Each structure stands twice: as C-alpha cells, then as structure tokens.
Amino acid sequence: MHFKDRFQAGRFLAAELLDYKDRADVLVLALPRGGVPVGSEVAHALRAPLDVLVVRKIGVPGFPELAMGALAAGGVENISGSTVAHFRLSPAHLQKVIDDERKELQRREFRFRGNRPFPEVRGKVVILIDDGLATGHTMDAAITAVRRQGPQEVIIAVPVGARETCRLLTGGVNKVICLCTPAHFDAVGAFYLDFHQVTDDEVEALLRKACGDVADVSALS
C-alpha cells in the first residue's frame, strides 16, 4: 500500500477508528512533525481534540538515521544500552547527544505549545499517531510519557510500520492499528508519494485549525 501524502493516510487511518467518534474521553496525540498531518485527519473524522506529544529520536553519532533511543516530553529518556555498547560511545559523548536533542525537544515544545499546559490524559482514551513506525524508539518514548499520566487506554495508530516493531509495541498498549505492514520495510518515506519534511509552520497551522474544529463541534452540541 502506498499513500499520496500524509493527509490521505490519515483519512484511511480514521476509517479504522470510527468506533471512537464523538466520544468525550478520546484525545488524539500526534508525534511532530510528520504525525501531525496524519493526526489532523484522524481528529477531524472522530471529532476529537488534537494535540502534540513532542518526541526526539536520538541518532548514533555519524549515523543520524540509526536510532539508539528517544526522548519525550515530561523527562522521558529511553536509550538502547546494546546500541550504545556496540558503537562504544563514552558516557560523556552519549550525554552530549542527549543534551543536544533535549534542547531541540524543548524548542519544539515551546513552539507548538507555548505556555499552554499538556492536555489532561488521566482517564482518557489516548490515540497516539505518527506517519509510520520504523525502529519504534520514538513511539516507545511517547507510550512511556503517556502511561505515566494514568490514561484509561492507549492506542497506537499509524498508516505503515515494520512488522516486528508493531509486534513489539503491542505489549505496552491496548491496541496497535497499522494499515500496512509490508514484508520488506526499508523506510517510512518509501510508502508515500509526497513525504516532504513537515515544517514548524505547517504543524502550528494544523493545530490552530484543529482547535477551531473542536470549537465548532462544541457549539453544535
């Protein structure tokens, strides 16, 4: 399965989540930046609030596309000890990489949320959205961050993902919904015709639009 873009993927994904439509206890949390266009379509279809859960992949120095862990809002820090050992990273080198990524995470947190507090998660059905799952490090960090706050249920929903990653993540959540788990998985972008890098401005615009959609729904209720 290939998607035209993240918006189309979001519409296809929303069709698998209609059991959660018009429920007051549902919250859609997208992982920026690529998960936000997908999440915006899901939130619109479910008439649910959309927000972001900021995460940052920690890449191996010299091999930035190779993840050795991830950070998430709320002080979550998931590091693969085996990967660190394999590349023989010193504690000081590892800490520098983490510190650099933490600064970028904080920058995005402020850019996308400003002084607005993180949404209430306790007792909610939280749907975590990204544009795809490769290693799963960032999604795993997102799960940890959400679980700390006592949700009723956590659901992962993605258009495409590596089979083994999807399987491994099932143990930490109530449900994993993945539209496509190809036998040969190289990269998430290979399953999109348009996989441009989503900008901060695009994320902000989609979040503003989602806030307007929720306000319109509330006015009609």
pLDDT-derived band of residue 113, with 50, 70 and 90 as boundaries? Answer: confident
- What distance in Å separates the CA atoms of residue 46 and residue 24, rounded to the nearest whole number? 10
State the Cα–Cα distance between residues 179 and 161, nearest whole angstrom.
Answer: 8
Q: What's 3's DSSP letter?
A: B
Residue 216's pLDDT band, with cuts at 50, 70 and 90, is low
Q: Is the pLDDT of residue 199 over 80?
A: yes
Pairing of strands 26-30, 125-129: parallel
Is the Cβ–Cβ distance between 41 and 127 less than 8 Å? no
Q: Where are the beta strands (DSSP E) in 130-212?
A: 153-160, 175-180
Expressed in angstroms, the distance from the first to the final Cα of the chain is 37
Higher pLDDT, 94 or 218: 94
Q: Which helix (H) or strand (E) element contains residue 210?
A: helix 200-220
The domain made up of 6-56+113-216 has a fold known as Rossmann fold (3.40.50)
In the chain, the amino acid numbered 216 is D
Using DSSP's 3-state secondary structure scheme, residue 13 falls into helix
- Domain ranges in the chain? 6-56+113-216
Q: What share of the chain is helix, strand, coil (3-state, %, to 5)?
A: 45, 25, 30
Which residue has tokens 């997908």? Answer: 38
| pLDDT for the residue numbered 219 | 46
Average pLDDT, the chain: 92
Mean pLDDT over 18-30 rounds to 97
Report the half-sphere exposure of 21 (CA within 13 A, side-chain side). 12
Q: Among residues 122, 125, 128, which one has the least CA distance to residue 150?
A: 122
Lowest mean pLDDT among 28-42, 70-84, 116-130: 70-84
Of 31, 56, 29, 40, give the one whose Cα is nearest residue 6: 40
Task: Report residue 147 as tokens.
Answer: 């679980």
Residue 94 is which amino acid?
L
Q: Is residue 202 over pLDDT 60? A: yes
